[in-house]
Every structure is written in C-alpha cells, then in structure tokens.
Copies of this chain bind each other. A is one copy, B any other.
C-alpha cells in the first residue's frame, strides 16, 4: 500500500444556513478543496461522500451521484460513493478515500462530508439523531443521544470523581478556541457559570454540554503521496486510517465509560505508524457532548482512564497545554452537521499542520490525530496525519 497525502481542503461556514441547500454547501466545500489543491475537476478520479441522513433531513438519497453532478463532475462519469456510519460518516468517507488511493485504484480523489439539518423542525431533528442508536432497543423507549451520554457521564462521575465543572470546562475551552475559527457556528466565549446554569437536558448534562444541530460541509483532496509535491509545497501525509465497531446499544457494552471502538481503532492506528500517544501534537476529537471529549482523551491514551476530567480542569488540553484538543472549537462550538464533522476535523488538522490556523494555531504542530464516532460509539474512526 502506498502513502497518501492531502493536497487541498475546503469548508463552509457551519451554522443555520437557511439560504443554502444541501447540494449548495456540498459543492461549495468541494470546489474550495479543488481550488486549494490547484487541480482541475477532470483530475478527480473518484468521490467519497459522508452523509448520515439526507434521506430524512432533505428527502434525498443517491447522494454521491447528486454531489458529483452538481459539482460539475457528471461528465467525467467518476465513481461517486456515499457512506454512512451515523455521526462518523465524514471520517468513513475519508477512510475509504485513503484506501482507494493507497491501494493504487486511483491517484486523486475527493472526500467530502455534508449534512443539512436545519430544514426540519428541531424536534424532528432530535428524532432523526436518534436513528444513530438502536431504534428498537434504545430510541423507541426515549433513550435518545443526550440521555445515553448522560448515563456515561453519571457512571464516569461516580467511578472517577469527574465533576460537572470539569465537563463544563470542555465547553469553555472549545468555545474559547472557536473564537478564532471563522467557520465555527459559535464564535463566542462561554464561562463555567454559563454552562452550569444552562437548562439540564439530561442530568448531569446541561444544554451547553451538548453540541448543536447545524448545516455544513467540508472536503479534502487526497493524492498519492509520491505525486503530492506536483500540486502543493505543503502536503499533509496520512500516516494511519483505522476504523472499528462496537455494539450499537450502550447497554450491551462491557463498560459504558470506555468506548471500545475508539480503543480498537486507535490501537490499530498507532500500530500502523509505529507511534504512541506521546508523539501526537494535537487532536480533533468527538465532543458531541462534553463527557464524550473526556472519554475520548482517555480512550485515545492521552490520559489515563479516569483522569480526563482533571486534565481538562488543569488546562492540559488547551492550546499551549500538554496536548491541545479541539483547537477548532470541536463539535461543541463548530456545530455538528453529522456527516460533515469527520471531514471538518481533517480540514482542521491539515490547516494546523500547514501552519495556517491563524490565532488558533498550535505551535510546532507536526503530528495530528482525528477521532470521529457514530452514535454512542458503535463506530469509531481514527486518522493520524503528519506534515
């Protein structure tokens, strides 16, 4: 298998984009990535699109062909593939794009992620989100995402003395980072008091512990590494790409304070590149809820199990801390347009490793990691990149 590099990235503003359609934002991100790569559309040999639920949000399936068509690529008749793994759909698109180039099937492909969530009522969106967990044994009984993550939080608090303040600190940190991210839904600071006084959604999680419904799209152009310097002076190399699964239901897991899908995916990723957590300079992790970031930084082995809360409280995950987590603002402050998120993380790491992240730049960023999960962790996908 040959090495793969990112030669271009593109992203839309995340937020309530009522004036733009599903296809508009997908194409906007894709064209920005193509322009950033400095290639012509005719050089794209295949498209991998991550999307969770366009069928229900905008009544449209066949999303791969739709995006290729509206991006002006239909005349080239390229393979256009849509993949879905709930909230990890974007990372899954990236993963398959990497495979398709690493294998030698294609030289240049585009990975895109897109979701248009605000064209339905918030109540409907809530129900649609619940299709990422087990409809038959969880959602139908009212166990939607916030309540399931609240269960994880409750056990984590009990077992490891994690506090509401530590969880709130995740939100405060990520919002502070997002102030410098023009693509984030919320470029606004929060205080601990803001988070802790916001309404309880599912005890112990407050409204401001939760990521938000959003529209958005992101894209990355991938190329065989040996050819990358024809297109860019700052290729970002894909050092590892690993995917794992777990039970879709939370109640079937051996331990709900650990996501085994993350544990298996990151183990494989570290093996692929012969690195360990100490080599990672920064990471974009899946903070759909603040407790999810705490669990993620433990499962990714940045911190020991049970120490994610205290590490967050002590500022170790801030930009300038031991390992900056979610310098973009994360799902929490960027918003979480489901299928877009995994590719947005890739875009952020690419910009960081290229030294183009402006005021949210992590100094001396050499190696970055992305971590994207589906549902409550039925899927986890980890990528490691280097400059």
Contacts from A to B (Cβ < 8 Å): 1, 21, 23, 52-53, 55-56, 58-66, 68-69, 73-74, 77-86, 92, 96, 99-100, 102-105, 127-128, 131-136, 139, 243-249, 252, 260-261, 264, 374-375, 378-379
- Contacting residues, chain B, for A96 (C-beta < 8 A): 81, 96
* 13 A-B pairs with C-beta separation under 8 A: A23-B136, A60-B131, A61-B84, A65-B86, A65-B245, A66-B378, A69-B249, A74-B247, A77-B260, A80-B85, A80-B245, A81-B85, A82-B84
> Is the pair A77, B131 in contact by a Cβ cutoff of 8 Å?
no
- Contacting residues, chain B, for A134 (C-beta < 8 A): 60, 66
Q: A99-B99, A99-B103, A135-B58 are in contact. Are A78 and B378 (CB under 8 A)?
A: no
- Contacting residues, chain B, for A104 (C-beta < 8 A): 1, 103
Q: How many whole Å from A321's CB to the nearest CB in chain B? A: 30
- Contacting residues, chain B, for A244 (C-beta < 8 A): 77-79
Most buried by B among A59, A65, A78, A139: A65
Task: Report the separation of the CA atoms of residues A188 and B74 in the bound assembly, to the nearest whole angstrom.
Answer: 40
- Contacting residues, chain B, for A99 (C-beta < 8 A): 99-100, 103, 105
- Contacting residues, chain B, for A248 (C-beta < 8 A): 62, 65-66, 69, 74
Q: A74-B252, A80-B245, A86-B62 are in contact. Are A69 and B378 (CB under 8 A)?
A: yes
Q: A56-B56, A378-B69 are in contact. Are A62 and B133 (CB under 8 A)?
A: yes
Q: A74-B247, A100-B99, A102-B103 are in contact. Are A84 and B59 (CB under 8 A)?
A: no
> Is the pair B131, A62 in contact by a Cβ cutoff of 8 Å?
yes
**Copies of the chain in the assembly:** 2
- Contacting residues, chain B, for A82 (C-beta < 8 A): 83-85
Interface of A is mostly: mixed
- Contacting residues, chain B, for A59 (C-beta < 8 A): 127, 131, 135, 139
Task: Report the separation of the CA atoms of residues A107 and B260 in the bound assembly, to the nearest whole angstrom.
Answer: 23
Q: How many whole Å from A24's CB to the nearest CB in chain B? A: 11
Select one of B52, B83, B100, B133 contacting A81, CB under 8 A: B83
Q: How many whole Å from A133's CB to the nearest CB in chain B? A: 7
Q: A56-B55, A104-B1, A261-B77 are in contact. Are A61 and B132 (CB under 8 A)?
A: yes
